[in-house]
Amino acid sequence: MTLVLRQVTRRVSGAEIVREKVLPTDTARIGRGADCEIRLPDLAVSLHHATLATTGPGRVSVVSAGREPFGVDGRFVTQADIDVGRAPRLTFGDHILTLSHGDGGRILINLAAAEPAEGDSSSGVPAGGVIPKARIFGRRRIAWTLGLGIVALCLIWPLAAFHGHLNARIDPDQQWSTGPLSSAHAFLEDDCQSCHQEAFVAVTDASCKTCHAGDQTPAAMAAAATSVRRAGSPDTLSFVRDHAPRGRILWGTPPPAGFTGQATAWFRRAFNLPEQRCASCHVEHVANPVAGRPPEPIPTLTPTQTCIQCHTGLTHRLKDTDLADAPSWARHPNFRPALPGPAGLTRVSLDSRPREASGLTFPHDLHLSPGGGPARMAQTLGGRGYGAALTCNNCHRPDADQKGFAPVQMERDCASCHSLSFATPGGVRQLPHGEPGQVVAALMAWQGRGPVAGGGTTRRRPGEIGEGGPGVGVSPAGASAVNTVGGAFGPRGACFDCHTIFRTPILRFTPVRLPGDFLSRGAFDHSVREHRVDRLGQPSCAQCHAAATSGSATDLLLPSVSECVECHGQTTARSETPAPADCETCHSFHAPSHPTPRPPRPNFSARPRPAAAVQTTP
Amino acid sequence: MAKTAKTGERSNPGQHDGFLGYRNFRWAWRAGALCVIAIAGYLLMDAEPRPNGGSVYGYAAGTIAALLVLWLTLLGLRKRAITSGNWSLKAWVSAHVYLGLAVMVVATLHSGFQFGWNIHTLAYALMVLVVVSGLFGITVYALLPRYLSRNRGETTQKQMLETLKALDRQINEAAQPLSEVQARVVQMSLDGSRVGGGLWRRLSGGRGGCGNQRALSRLRGLRRQATDVELQMLDRMEELLQRKAVALAQVRRHLQIRAWLSVWLAVHVPATIALIAAITAHVFSVFIYW
């Protein structure tokens, strides 16, 4: 049997070159060595790897020379007896020997190098150049992964939570928070929807008023306070009222001035960010305007307008307002006390020198005169808070918070001198005060038992019955009860001293109308030391209230605003007691009749105010 | 300024105008002016209660920054279409570089220096990442090409690889008479001399586990048991392996420098897409929770 070696090589163009060689013997050595008949230039093949020999017609045996195996149709063996008719494939390293029958009983040994896999080669350098980069983290793939991941995690997930499609424990929309809340609202940090209730709609006042409305019933307020405390609020819930209805505030606000103002207004309209909401001034998600400090206790206050900006020309913008313009402290309108008039309380400017119509007869000068009768009576009264000439505080008592005065009460503040006692056979009785009908009834019950009418206007100390005088004089014998009643209400009677009484023909009193608060739209704090006493520590009531020279109860003893200007808005050079002239001193935004709470909110004046807000008298 | 060139001539012959210094740093000046205006506006606008993205200035700066980011991203499209003139690719790249730096200033002022663990700061951080990676890119573009050409000498990458292949062929041939053990060692060089590969391997110059290096050191050990004839063959083999080591070092250095020249893009481009996604979420979230 003749062995024929057919060596197949491949051109670059792909064409095959076949070289045939008839082997001299029936036995052929296979290996890398130069002496081998079938030479395989492959370092994976031993120098003498195996020997191929014909063993019969169409049969060959292949035996390894050493221990290195070779492949026969995919199996690795060291010895094989092979039927050439089955066209076996022998592999040695990267070389393949394919056996087949040739013409004339020859055995053809086809030798070819194994086709390298795409991009692979025997060396570390692949056919295409260098080993390609790992493509798992290609730029495009990372970009898409990151981009879509961020959209999914930072936009779609929170949106789904906002629309209530998720009921997760974590709040994905918290990542949208632009900054921490003030400590009062910190308990709402993970509940964005408590304020942001509707998408693309700026936080509405309704959200704020859910808790803070000051015009709800006390029960509702208590319930709101309880619910926020339960939710974890560290603060006492504050209730506030609107400065004015929002529509009126919007109309009363001056149009934006300057390019920035107009641009801001345009922007706010274009982006549906209405002005004059709670959130316009009370800014959240700022924590603290000064970086690095702990959060403010309440939302940062950022007034969008100063008081003066709106209250200048307000009468032009709000034609029906009863407020006067206050363009500056120097041009603050004079006080307009609420005085009783035919149509109820009417505000009248002090400039028009209004008269008080309390319905009483009360000369302040007489009472305060150090040499007058009241003074002598007070000296006589001695140690019941009297003992010297009368002063203001003998009759006017501070109210509970010392800021104002309690209404004058006849029994408490006048009756020490203006006694309502009268003698009866059964002893000294007190006439009821305030209800004329009751007085009449009491007198009728004791008719004839003691006169009420007295002579003269000389006051007697109460209790000293029988010495004559009003209420205790000796009754003419047989005087009827009617006469007695008539005496009491008559021109020299006890009531007539202070009250104006008509007989038309029935007895009629001029109604007594003592305003609780003349100036209900601002706040004057009598407890401030400079408001109470002078430099020497003496009461300084007379500085503002010209009571000592007032001979009539119709004198309105209120000082005009020029009195305030003596100190407020003055410098130390011009006043011994200079005081600020901020609007907040007497008014607060949410409760204009009260001063802004002092000390002011910690962040109230975080930044210096524009000078326009603090104008002083030139 | 560019001279009007006659037909067939280059304008400004002999004067190379890189993208950084394009037209006397025209875009550097413009970007600088933008920064100056932005800073002046920041200082002049009295945002209450503190500078923030929600003030008039904040929205203006934010809008400018967002539009700039979108325009800067368009370079990816623009660079695939080469034109000339004022809006030549060079001018565009120059503007891209300087306006990209200006975006950092404008966006920082937009933030009002308010940062936190939220989507808004994520967008800011991504922008910083994009700008910083871009800065890194400019730096390597300015520094590395000279090393690239110094290392390359007169050859090209293709030639370097051809040299390697030729050496491999010679090594393969020279190894044919070697014994099994020796041949196996030589095979290490042929099989295990990796060039290129993953990112880290390219950036670090990828010599770790080099088959050629191992083959060289093993071959020295084999000399002790070798016959005189084998010693001659081994000498020849060692010379070949040494030559291969030099060639490998050159091609690896070449690939290393090229990797450094392009690695920043692997950050710059994905971070840009992430940035646009984050800006979208940032803008939407602000308006949803208005």
Q: Determine whether the interchain pair A289/B165 forms a contact, defined as Cβ–Cβ distance below 8 Å.
A: no
Q: Are residues B173 and B243 in the same domain?
A: yes
**Is the model's pLDDT at A463 over the cut of 50?**
no
- Asked if B44 and B173 sit in the same domain, the reply is no
B161 and B239 both lie in a single domain: yes
Which of A59-63, A293-297, A513-517, B123-127 is modeled with the greatest confidence?
A: B123-127
Same domain, B268 and B257: no
pLDDT > 80? residue A341: no
Judged against a pLDDT cut of 90, whether residue B274 lies above it is answered with yes
Is the pLDDT confidence value at B214 over 70?
A: yes
Whether pLDDT at A381 is above 90: no
Q: Is the pLDDT of residue A602 over 70?
A: no
Q: What is the pLDDT of residues A44-86, one digit of tens each?
A: 888 889 999 988 888 899 999 888 889 888 888 889 998 888 8
Question: Is there a contact between B277 and A173 if contact means CB atoms under 8 Å apart?
Answer: no
Give the highest mean pLDDT range of A567-571, B122-126, B172-176, B284-288: B122-126
Give the residue-averaged pLDDT of A142-167: 88
Given this model, what pLDDT does residue A492 score? 75
Which of A127, A133, A132 has its CA nearest to residue B161?
A: A127
Contact B49 A283 (CB under 8 A): yes
Contact A151 B280 (CB under 8 A): yes
Query: Secondary structure of A322-350 in the HEC alphabet?
Result: CCCCCCCCCCCCCCCCEEEECCEEEECCH
Q: A152 — phi, psi (to 5°)?
A: -70, -45
pLDDT at site B9? 62
Residues B269 and B252 placed together within one structural domain of the fold: no
Name the 3-class secondary structure at A430. strand
> Could you tell me if B129 and B163 lie in one domain?
no
Total domains in the fold of chain B: 2
Task: Identify whether B101 is part of a domain.
Answer: yes
Is B271 in Cβ contact with A134 (below 8 Å)? Answer: no
Considering only residues A606 and B133, tell me which one the structure prediction assigns the higher pLDDT: B133
Percent of chain A at pLDDT > 70 equals 85
| A311 has a pLDDT exceeding 60 | yes
User: Which residue of A170, A176, A290 is the best one to mutate when testing the B interface, meaning the one whose CB has the most B CBs within 10 A?
Assistant: A176
Residue at B141 is within a domain: yes
Mean pLDDT of B161-177: 86
Q: What is the 3-state secondary structure (H, E, C) of A179-191?
A: CCCCCCCHHHCCC
Name which of A148, A127, A232, A225 is nearest A189 in CA terms. A232
Residue of B nearest to A68 (CA): B180
Do residues B182 and B193 both lie within one domain? Answer: yes
Task: Note whether residue B12 is domain-resident.
Answer: no
Residue B103 maps to a domain: yes
Residues B216 and B178 in one domain: yes
- Domain holding B218, by residue range, is 157-262
> In this structure, is residue B3 part of a structural domain?
no
Q: A150-154, A359-363, B275-279: which has the minimum mean pLDDT?
A: A359-363
Do B133 and B271 lie in one domain? The reply is: yes
Instruction: Please tell me whether residues B274 and B149 are part of one structural domain.
Output: yes
- Collect all residues of chain A within an 8 Å Cβ-Cβ radius of residue B278: 150, 154
- Choose the closest CB to A125 out of B161, B179, B284: B161
B176 and A43 within 8 Å at the Cβ level: the answer is yes
Q: Which residue has the tokens 């890194």?
A: B136
> Out of A125, A132, A151, whose CB is closest to B281?
A151
Residues B81 and B215 in one domain: no
Tens of pLDDT, residue by residue over B93-140, are 899 999 999 999 999 999 999 898 999 999 999 999 999 999 999 999
Is the pLDDT assigned to residue A415 strictly greater than 90? no
- ω into residue A599 within 30 of 0, thus cis? yes
Report the pLDDT averaged over residues B9-14: 59
Is B137 within the bounds of a domain? Answer: yes
In this prediction, residue A613 has a pLDDT band, given cuts at 50, 70 and 90, of: very low
State how far the alpha carbon of A152 is from the alpha carbons of A59, A148, A196, B278, B286, in Å.
Answer: 70, 6, 21, 10, 17
Q: How far is B98 from chain A (nearest CA, A)?
A: 23
Is B4 contained in some domain?
A: no
Residues 6+ apart with CB under 8 A from A568: A329, A579, A580, A581, A585
CA of B25 vs chain A CAs: smallest distance (Å): 31
Q: Which of A347-351, A408-412, A551-555, B49-53 has the lowest mean pLDDT?
A: B49-53
Whether residue A533 contacts residue A540, with contact meaning beta carbons closer than 8 Å, is answered with yes
Query: Which candidate from A154, A203, A291 shows the least CB-CB separation from B119?
Result: A154
Q: Residue A547: is it exposed, middle or buried by C-beta count within 10 angstroms (0-12/13-18/19+)?
A: middle
B189 in the same domain as B121? no
Name the average pLDDT for chain A. Answer: 81
Average pLDDT, chain B: 87
ipTM, two decimals, is 0.83
Half-sphere exposure of B215 (CA within 13 A, CB side): 29
pLDDT at A123 over 60: no
Model confidence pLDDT, tens digit, residues A417-458: 888 887 777 777 788 888 888 888 887 777 655 444 443 344
The verdict on a CB contact (< 8 Å) between A300 and B49 is yes
Delineate the domains of chain A, giving CATH numbers in brackets. Answer: 3-113 (2.60.200.20), 170-327 (no CATH), 414-509 (no CATH)
Q: What is the pLDDT of residue B86?
A: 62
Domain annotation covers residue B241: yes
